Amino acid sequence: MARSEARVPTDRPARYAKQLASHLGRRSQTSWDEETGTGGIVFQNGTGTLTATEGALLLTVDTDPEHLGVLEGVVGRHLVRFGTRDELVVAWRRDNGEPGTTQRNSEDQAAR
């Protein structure tokens, strides 16, 4: 198993986590607990967690190494799309110390 984590600075971490869990729940099993500010995602080939903290949304994905980039992309792309106004950037860091994928607004990518 391999793990990747991302810390996404935002003033609305619980709102984005709830929206992400709701949206991904159409194809995966998801949960969101408003009281604890935590949630989970069960994908076909891995799992993810959502944790709302003061000023940031913490994300993790756990899967086999060959699917890690795919799950990073799924979670990151949806979150960035929801947070377009806030210009969210999701930069993943893998448990082996290497950088993972990064998702950001496509207009922002085109400008770089």
Q: Which long-range contacts (CB under 8 A, 24 or more apart) does 22-28 make?
A: 23/78, 23/82, 24/74, 24/75, 24/78
Share of the chain above pLDDT 70, in %: 95
Residue 100: CATH number of its domain: 3.30.310.50
106 membership: H or E segment, kind and range: helix 106-111
Q: What is the pLDDT of residue 106?
A: 72
Q: What domain range includes position 25?
A: 2-111
Average pLDDT over residues 5-23: 97
Q: What is the pLDDT of residue 23?
A: 96
86 to 13, 83, 103, 105: CA distances (angstroms):
11, 5, 14, 10
How big is the chain by its Cα radius of gyration, in Å? 13
Count how many domains the chain has.
1
Residue 110: pLDDT over 50? no
Give dist(CA 32, CA 40) in Å, integer.
7
Q: What is the pLDDT of residue 42?
A: 98
